[in-house]
Amino acid sequence: MTRPILFSLVAILGPLVLDYYVFRNWRRFVAYRKQAGHARTFGWTLPLYRVLMVVMPLALPLYFLYSNWWSVEPKLPRALFFGVLAVYYVPKALIALALLIKDGAQFVMWLFAWFQEQLLGDADDEKNEENLDLADMKRASRRAFLHEVGWSAASVPFVLVGYSVFRTLYDFEIHRVDVPIAGLPRQLDGLTIAQLSDLHAGSFFSEKPMHEAVATIQDLRPDLVTITGDFVNHDAGELGLILPALNKLQADLGVYGCLGNHDHYAHVREVTRQVRTTPVDLLVNQHRTLEVDGARLHIVGVDNTGFNQNHADMQAALADLGARPGDETRLLLAHTPTYWDQYVRPQHPEFDLMLCGHTHGGQIGLEWGPLRYSLARVAYPRWAGLYEEARPNGEGSQYLYVNRGAGTVGPPLRLGIRPEITLLTLRSA
């Protein structure tokens, strides 16, 4: 079976099974309310649900088959399409999980009752009838309570997902991070770096989110600004939504960027050309050396390697830098965190800090104090935040920072993982 056929079957049958399971439980709830004589039985929802159960699983494969999703189609219809899918299916996945727990508990209770019946089957009939009546009353009361509370709670995932789509999608969160670097020149102690990543211009409804992000960065007054790839989703034509804001981006030591995998899905030369019309100094396997009161800060930017791409050329990026003396710091801009383990740590201990993005923090997850979980960690062991590892040569530590991104890919949805603006401060370890 070919991959496209397998993908189509999973894309259709998976949501259909999920939908049918939730539908069966909803149908029981509607029947219960009708039998109990409630005024609002919700019977009208069943025919509508049956139609949606057939139409919605077909929507995604039909969209990919017959739309020009890879091209510059109107942004609002695309965002609305994925938004509707997210609001329809993501809460149902959470509801299905709760229903599985409920059904499992009911099965255990049924099994216990069956054993009880087998053990007490010879008891006095009249006594059994009295106990049965009392048990039925309690059971009915408990069942009614669970039905009402359970399906009232089932609305919560829809509210949460809807809120994340329409409210928190561009609610930027500032992450302030200190990076303690051994041997950091004293002139660079306290230097601040603002980082944006994964703008995905095609995911924005308008120019407003990018203007807000740039205004926030300007208020932070960083010494330099970095943007670590994925300026667009699929086409250079999307850049019109972010270029006006990027033209306002300024920092005393400059604004620097690198390319991501999505920039290569588009016409990468055109993306590069247009980004370079702004203050962003796009480093494509290049470096810049900054002098700060006699100390040197080398900013190295490599093209994307990772996610089935191999465009990085570290040898070209480091051309003319030579061996590292003691009065400098090296900062690497690379889009994907996998580049850190595959190339940087085993081959380049001279880098003090690498900035990247790509993971979006998974877009859905939980970050609450020490509790941190995201869908991204399934594929990326380093999916968000600061990571420290000892240099292979034993001389201090190297640091990796993974930005949670500003835009989105796929459904315009962020739940528990807000879009990020990072302010990193270099400190002498």
Mapped to the 3 state alphabet, what secondary structure does the chain carry?
CCHHHHHHHHHHHHHHHHHHHHHHHHHHHHHHHHHCCCCCCCCCHHHHHHHHHHHHHHHHHHHHHHCCCCCCCCHHHHHHHHHHHHHHHHHHHHHHHHHHHHHHHHHHHHHHHHHHHHHHCCCCHHHHHHHHHHHHHHHHHHHHHHHHHHHHHCHHHHHHHHHHHHCCCCCCEEEEEEEEECCCCHHHCCCEEEEECCCCHHHCCCCHHHHHHHHHHHHHCCCEEEEECCCCCCCHHHHHHCHHHHCCCCCCCCEEEECCHHHHHCCHHHHHHHHCCCCEEECCCEEEEEEECCEEEEEEECCCECCCCECCCHHHHCCCCCCCCCCEEEEEECCCCHHHHHHHHHHCCCCCEEEECCCHHHCEEEEECCEEEEHHHHCCCCCCEEEEEECCCCCCEEEEEECCCCCCCCCCCCEECCCEEEEEEEEEC
Residues 215 and 129 both lie in one domain: no
Beta carbons within 10 angstroms of residue 347's beta carbon? 11
383 is in which domain, residue-wise? 170-428
Of 143, 163, 183, the one marking the end of a domain is 163
Contact indicator for 356, 403 with CB cutoff of 8 Å: yes
pLDDT attached to residue 114: 67
Residues 419 and 280 both lie in one domain: yes
Map 49-61 to HEC letters. HHHHHHHHHHHHH
pLDDT attached to residue 177: 98
Token pair 């995604």: residue: 60
Residues 118 and 140 both lie in one domain: yes
Closest C-alpha to 418, from 335, 361, 337:
361
Residues 416 and 288 both lie in one domain: yes
CATH number at residue 283: 3.60.21
Residues 292 and 316 both lie in one domain: yes
Exposure class string for 192-216: b at 16+ Cβ within 10 A, else e: bbbbbbbbbbbbbeeeebbeebbeb
d(CA 177, CA 421): 11
Mean pLDDT across the chain: 82
CA distances from 294 to 185, 297, 327, 418 (A): 9, 10, 8, 39
Of 128, 145, 163, the one marking the end of a domain is 163
Contact indicator for 302, 285 with CB cutoff of 8 Å: yes
pLDDT attached to residue 31: 82
Residues 187 and 61 both lie in one domain: no
Residues 122 and 197 both lie in one domain: no
| Number of domains the chain is built from | 2
Q: How far is CA 209 from the centre of its chain?
A: 17
Bridge partners, 386 (sequence order): 401
Of 146, 163, 180, the one marking the end of a domain is 163
User: 314: phi > 0 → left, psi -120 to 50 → alpha, else beta; which?
Assistant: alpha
Residues 232 and 148 both lie in one domain: no
pLDDT attached to residue 404: 97
d(CA 88, CA 162): 9
Residues 123 and 37 both lie in one domain: yes
pLDDT attached to residue 33: 73
Sign of CA dihedral 251, 401, 337, 380: negative
Residues 42 and 133 both lie in one domain: yes
Per-residue pLDDT of the chain (429 residues; tens, 9 = 90+): 565 566 556 666 777 888 888 888 888 778 877 777 776 778 888 888 888 888 887 787 777 776 665 554 555 576 677 777 777 887 787 777 777 776 776 676 676 666 666 655 554 444 444 444 444 444 545 455 445 445 555 555 555 555 555 555 688 999 999 999 998 999 999 999 999 999 999 888 889 999 999 999 999 999 999 999 999 988 899 999 999 999 999 999 999 999 999 999 999 999 999 999 999 999 999 999 999 999 999 999 999 999 889 999 999 999 988 777 667 999 999 999 999 999 999 999 999 999 999 999 999 888 888 888 887 888 899 999 999 999 887 778 999 999 999 999 877 778 789 999 999 999 998
pLDDT attached to residue 303: 98
Residues 23 and 95 both lie in one domain: yes
Residues 304 and 180 both lie in one domain: yes
